[in-house]
Amino acid sequence: MYMTLEDRFKFLFGIILIAALFSGYTLIMLEIDNKYWDYNTSYSVNTSNKIYNIKAKRIPETSDVEVIVSANGLKEKKSKIYKANRKSSEEITQQVISIANSTIAKCN
């Protein structure tokens, strides 16, 4: 069966339309995933010597979470959890606690 010029244009237009819809859907899903995935927490730990403040927040430009541990009279200690968007909030919280505990242990 022979395809006319009009049939060829319709076929190519259909392929281009499907590719455009697929790429648009992919870009929208990536933007939604990036926009609504957020991690931000803050808490304090009391020890016999000092009060430690732990803050964790997502860095918007990357998929990392920055953990900041500070105390009175101490310089802030910053750490990063890399590729945090592939982890659940519970996993990130466990890593934040682990980083905070090791930092506090080093300071005492």
Query: Could you read off the pLDDT of 55-99 as tens digits, one per residue?
Result: 888 877 777 788 888 877 677 777 777 677 667 777 878 888 888
pLDDT for 9: 92
pLDDT for 35: 55
The pTM for the full model equals: 0.53
Q: Are residues 95 and 67 in the same domain?
A: yes
SS (H, E, C) the chain: CCCCHHHHHHHHHHHHHHHHHHHHHHHHHHHHHHHHCCCEEEEEEECCCCEEEEEEEECCCCCCEEEEEEECCCCCEEEEECCHHHCCHHHHHHHHHHHHHHHHHHHC
Q: Are residues 25 and 54 in the same domain?
A: no
Query: Could you read off the pLDDT of 34-55 as tens digits, one per residue?
Result: 555 666 778 777 777 778 888 8
Q: Are residues 16 and 68 in the same domain?
A: no
Q: Are residues 20 and 65 in the same domain?
A: no
Give the structural domain span for 63.
38-107
Q: Are residues 55 and 68 in the same domain?
A: yes
Q: Are residues 55 and 30 in the same domain?
A: no
Quote the number of domains for the chain: 2
Q: Are residues 32 and 51 in the same domain?
A: no
Structure tokens at 98: 């682990």
Q: Are residues 48 and 98 in the same domain?
A: yes
Confidence category of residue 100, pLDDT binned at 50, 70, 90:
confident
Q: Are residues 94 and 60 in the same domain?
A: yes
Distance CA 38, CA 22 (A): 26
Structure tokens at 36: 């609504």
